[in-house]
């Protein structure tokens, strides 16, 4: 994939390349919550959010300058601000706060709601009109996730669950807005410009929220910060926004239903968190919903 190529307007038939790019993005994003869980043990949620945005923003600025990308026009600034508010600040901060109350394995299950949120905003902001059967599969996948969460006992950590739900809403908006903008501005350019717009504020907040002593921070925490900064905040979006623009926001967005499967595997292997049989059953169920949603997305 050439980094300088622009995303062309969406065609009538979903692009296989769009699904491949979207899948790569999902695989990269799957490490976000486990890495955030590790980092938030030693960094405050605010510092983790603004630090990852600052690091990714600095890299994005260098890319834009080196490749001499054209600046967005005025009509693109507000959508870029929405993207920045949703995926640069909103989702990272809300999930970091939530992970103070719940495990990454529990929070990952909520990611199964992202396809539905993204599809709703694809209709509201992207002008897409999926077929009625598509909504059946999308709602079914989401219902499996919500049902599992309720069975586990939402009241055990209401703060964590509410924060995760809010994170899903703002992330769905950021995904749909960014994918719509990618059709004219380009996939990697969208996330880069959104990061650059947020960079001045993120740098200032990083200075004020930095830990008193950085020498006490462990290597796993630093590595986790590096992952969420470069992969979750930048590289993953290069593939994700490109995939959404190529294959359709609502359709390719259903790939997020696969993220719990990858994320739960990481949570179990890296963090040694318990993964119950119920989690696996829910994951298998939502994976089956992806196939149905894709078939009836147009």
Interatomic CA distance for residues 163 and 106, integer angstroms: 13
186: alpha, beta or left? (left if phi > 0; alpha if psi -120 to 50): left
pLDDT at residue 298, rounded to an integer: 61
pLDDT on residue 12 = 39
- CA distances from residue 62 to 55, 59, 192, 238, 248 in whole angstroms, order as listed: 11, 5, 10, 15, 30
Contact yes or no for 82/177 (Cβ under 8 A): yes
Please tell me the predicted confidence (pLDDT) of residue 191.
93
How many other CB atoms sit within 10 Å of the CB of residue 124? Answer: 12
Q: CA 237 to CA 250: how far, in whole Å? A: 16
| pLDDT computed for residue 155 by the predictor | 46
| Radius of gyration for the chain, computed over Cα atoms and rounded to the nearest angstrom | 18
Per-residue pLDDT of the chain (298 residues; tens, 9 = 90+): 444 444 444 443 456 888 899 999 998 988 888 888 889 889 999 999 999 999 999 999 999 999 999 899 999 999 999 999 999 999 999 988 888 888 766 776 777 788 888 888 888 887 788 788 888 888 887 777 667 666 655 545 678 888 988 999 999 999 899 888 988 888 789 999 999 999 999 999 999 999 888 888 999 999 999 999 999 999 999 899 888 888 888 888 888 877 777 776 776 777 676 767 777 777 778 777 776 766 665 6
Nearest to 249, CA basis, from 5, 22, 8, 91? 22
| Integer angstrom CA distances of residue 118 from 130, 138, 159, 209, 265 | 12, 10, 23, 32, 24
- Residues with Cβ within 8 Å of residue 143, at least 6 apart in sequence: none
Coil, helix or strand at residue 186: coil
* Domain ranges, ordered by start, for the chain: 16-295
> Nearest CA to 173 among 269, 266, 79, 51?
79
Length of the chain counted residue by residue: 298
H or E element at residue 120: helix 114-126
The pTM assigned to this predicted structure is 0.81
Residue 149: what pLDDT?
60
Residue 228 near residue 47 (C-beta atoms within 8 A): no
pLDDT, residue 99, reads 82
């Amino acid at each position: 994939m050439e980094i300088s190529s622009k995303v062309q307007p969406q065609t009538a038939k979903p692009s296989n390349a769009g699904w491949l790019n979207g899948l790569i993005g999902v695989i990269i994003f799957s490490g976000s919550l486990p890495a955030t869980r590790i980092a938030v043990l030693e960094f405050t949620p605010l510092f983790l959010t603004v630090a990852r945005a600052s690091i990714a923003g600095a890299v994005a600025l260098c890319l834009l300058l080196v490749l001499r990308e054209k600046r967005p026009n005025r009509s693109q600034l507000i959508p870029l601000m929405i993207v920045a508010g949703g995926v640069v600040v909103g989702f990272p901060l809300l999930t970091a706060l939530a992970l103070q109350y719940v495990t990454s394995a529990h929070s990952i299950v909520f990611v199964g709601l992202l396809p539905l949120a993204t599809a709703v905003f694809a209709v509201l902001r992207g002008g897409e009109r999926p077929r009625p059967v598509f909504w059946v599969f999308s709602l079914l996948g989401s219902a499996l996730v919500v049902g599992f969460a309720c069975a586990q006992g939402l009241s055990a950590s209401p703060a964590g669950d509410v924060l995760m739900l809010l994170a899903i809403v703002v992330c769905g908006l950021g995904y749909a807005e960014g994918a719509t903008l990618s059709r004219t501005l380009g996939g990697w350019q969208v996330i880069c410009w959104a990061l650059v717009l947020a960079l001045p504020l993120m740098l200032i907040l990083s200075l004020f929220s930095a830990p008193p002593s950085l020498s006490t921070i462990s290597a796993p925490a630093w590595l986790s910060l590096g992952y969420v900064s470069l992969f979750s905040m930048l590289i993953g979006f290069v593939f994700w926004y490109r995939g959404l623009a190529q294959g359709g926001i609502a359709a390719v967005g259903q790939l997020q239903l696969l993220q719990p499967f990858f994320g739960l595997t990481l949570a179990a292997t890296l963090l040694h968190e318990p993964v119950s049989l119920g989690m696996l059953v829910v994951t298998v169920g939502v994976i089956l919903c992806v196939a149905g949603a894709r078939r009836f997305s147009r």
